[in-house]
């Protein structure tokens, strides 16, 4: 199934198709239930709130000092022998990476997982220049074989089940059709191993860039990150400017939050700290290490006191795993690099709010995303803020803000606002709604296509509580 890039129309159609596809819904339901349970279990013996508070404060402090920390990071990386490059946007970052590859005569690039590289469509850019770019994270490898994009920021191939993976590997790499996961993993491992050995350049992402030491931290489970950053003669790390942290001691709490929130693990199998190229007398490691720091709208977000909070994100994916919208429609429905709650507050800055005004509405505002976010990003508040800007209210800082509401919408919301601020009228309308409940339509357009229409209760909660109290008094 090919995935269309986000447009409001494509988003609606893809979400509609996903809702009507039991296979997709089943795959997501199973995967997300498992991830939620793992996270719950792994945090059960922790003082989660204290750790979240600490994580949020570390990120807030880093963002408060961001310009200085970026300069410090650059100076310390350069002192370690890591060449630092600055890119205003994805296009410039692609150009820098392509030119670095060309300067080494590179024909083949092996990649570790990097959402920023997805954001800037690096693979397509390199391939257009005749440089083959192969994903080495198993999930990314599978979606690349299947000519798709990741459907989740941590588990890119989570939309695929065992049979589908078997079919993809059989068709694209000639492996046997099987349900034997070990066989498929071993086959992918052998295929990738050869590519690692022959790659001219390795490209990876960065989880945390430590300003005080000029160290790049990379969190992973498969060892492909370590291979990508150590086997090819040149390593290029690419990351957004917000990934910087001040001290090395800031990393362990963020790492603890990231692994537990993302996959329910106490620690990941690999934690890599890259502090420069191979030194004289060392037998392995890349001869050159580069760091490409990408802005792509982040400076604009940085100037807004509320939206600045989105830059705290450590890309754990927990908000997606717990979102009742994402877990039903899956990541591909959005057609954006970052799907789910975090995507709905990040993508408007990257693509413009007018083009993405439907994204902040793809939420029930249940608050689950905000509750699980390990760095306490107030996602629901930001969704409401973007919704207000999308309909022409608020400060309009986001590009494209200020789209007008329809007359019907204005009338409906004004009525609701008036009722909600006049308690007697509110109670009267609830009473009437209860009495007329039999007349409530069972179909309310697209709203009830996949939901049962709600009927007003026969008696309001207030009435039930009052009756309950009366009964209590009578008994006593």
Q: Taking a C-beta distance cutoff of 8 angstroms, is the pair 186, 178 a contact?
A: no
Report H helices in 199-339: 224-230, 251-263, 298-302, 318-321, 326-329
Rule CB under 6 A: say whether 202 interacts with ligand SF4. Answer: no
Q: Taking a C-beta distance cutoff of 8 angstroms, is the pair 206, 22 a contact?
A: no
CA distances for 338 relative to 11, 57, 350, angstroms: 13, 24, 10
| Interface pattern 331-360 for ligand SF4 (x via CB under 6 A) | -----------x------------------
# binding residues, ligand SF4 (CB under 6 A): 15
For ligand SF4, the closer of residues 100 and 241 by Cβ is 241
User: By C-alpha distance, which of 17, 339, 29, 1 is closest to 168?
Assistant: 1
Rule CB under 6 A: say whether 55 interacts with ligand SF4. Answer: no
For ligand SF4, the closer of residues 319 and 391 by Cβ is 319
In whole angstroms, how close is the CB of 429 to ligand SF4 at the nearest point?
37
| Interface pattern 357-386 for ligand SF4 (x via CB under 6 A) | ---------------xxxx-x-x-------
In whole angstroms, how close is the CB of 170 to ligand SF4 at the nearest point?
33
Q: Residue 403 carries which DSSP code? A: P
Which of these ranges, 13-21, 316-324, 347-355, 397-405, lies near ligand SF4 under the rule CB under 6 A? 316-324
CA distances for 192 relative to 157, 196, 368, 429, angstroms: 17, 6, 38, 65
In whole angstroms, how close is the CB of 256 to ligand SF4 at the nearest point?
13
Interface positions, 244-263, toward ligand SF4 (CB under 6 A):
261
Which of these ranges, 69-77, 160-168, 314-322, 466-474, lies near ligand SF4 under the rule CB under 6 A? 314-322
In whole angstroms, how close is the CB of 50 to ligand SF4 at the nearest point?
17
Q: Sign of dihedral through CA atoms 61, 63, 66, 69?
A: positive
Rule CB under 6 A: say whether 315 interacts with ligand SF4. Answer: yes
Q: Taking a C-beta distance cutoff of 8 angstroms, is the pair 125, 156 a contact?
A: no
Q: Sign of dihedral through CA atoms 321, 326, 330, 336?
A: negative
In whole angstroms, how close is the CB of 17 to ligand SF4 at the nearest point?
25
Binding residues for ligand SF4, rule: CB under 6 A, are 261, 313-319, 342, 372-375, 377, 379
């Amino acid at each position: 199934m090919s995935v269309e890039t986000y447009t409001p129309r494509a988003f609606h159609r893809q979400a509609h198709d996903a809702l009507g596809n039991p296979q997709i819904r089943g795959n997501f339901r199973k995967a997300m239930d498992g991830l939620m349970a793992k996270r719950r279990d792994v945090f059960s013996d922790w003082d989660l709130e204290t750790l979240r508070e600490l994580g949020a404060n570390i990120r807030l402090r880093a963002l408060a000092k961001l310009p200085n920390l970026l300069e410090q990071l650059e100076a310390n990386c350069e002192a370690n022998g890591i060449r630092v490059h600055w890119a205003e946007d994805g296009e410039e970052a692609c150009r820098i990476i392509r030119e670095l590859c060309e300067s080494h005569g590179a024909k083949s690039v092996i990649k570790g997982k990097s959402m920023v590289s997805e954001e800037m469509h690096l693979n397509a850019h390199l391939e257009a220049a005749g440089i083959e770019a192969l994903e080495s994270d198993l999930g990314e490898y599978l979606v690349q074989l299947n000519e798709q994009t990741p459907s989740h920021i941590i588990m890119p191939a989570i939309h695929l089940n065992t049979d589908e993976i078997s079919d993809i590997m059989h068709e694209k790499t000639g492996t046997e059709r099987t349900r034997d996961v070990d066989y498929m993993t071993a086959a992918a491992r052998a295929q990738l191993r050869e590519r690692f050995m022959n790659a001219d350049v390795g490209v990876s992402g960065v989880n945390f860039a430590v300003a005080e030491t000029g160290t790049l931290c990379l969190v992973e489970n498969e060892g492909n990150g370590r291979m990508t950053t150590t086997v090819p003669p040149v390593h290029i790390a690419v990351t957004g400017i917000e990934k910087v942290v001040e001290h090395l001691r800031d990393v362990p709490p963020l790492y603890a939050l990231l692994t537990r929130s993302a996959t329910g693990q106490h620690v990941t199998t690999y934690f890599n700290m890259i502090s420069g190229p191979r030194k004289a007398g060392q037998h392995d490691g890349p001869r050159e290490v580069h760091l490409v720091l990408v802005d792509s709208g982040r400076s604009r977000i940085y100037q807004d006191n509320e939206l600045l909070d989105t830059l705290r994100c450590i890309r754990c994916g927990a908000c997606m795993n717990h979102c009742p919208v994402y877990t039903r429609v899956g990541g591909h429905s959005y057609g954006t690099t970052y799907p789910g709650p975090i995507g709905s507050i990040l993508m408007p800055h990257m693509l413009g709010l007018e083009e993405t005004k439907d994204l902040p509405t793809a939420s029930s505002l249940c608050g689950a995303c905000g509750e699980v976010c390990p760095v306490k990003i107030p996602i629901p508040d930001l969704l409401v803020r973007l919704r207000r800007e999308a309909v022409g209210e608020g400060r309009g800082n986001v590009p494209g803000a200020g789209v007008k509401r329809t007359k019907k919408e204005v009338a409906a919301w004004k009525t609701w606002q008036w009722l909600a601020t006049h308690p007697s009228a509110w109670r009267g309308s609830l009473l009437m709604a209860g009495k007329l409940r039999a007349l409530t339509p069972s179909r309310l357009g697209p709203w009830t296509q996949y939901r049962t229409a709600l009927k007003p209760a026969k008696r309001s909660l207030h009435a039930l509580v009052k009756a309950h109290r009366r009964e209590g008094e009578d008994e006593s």
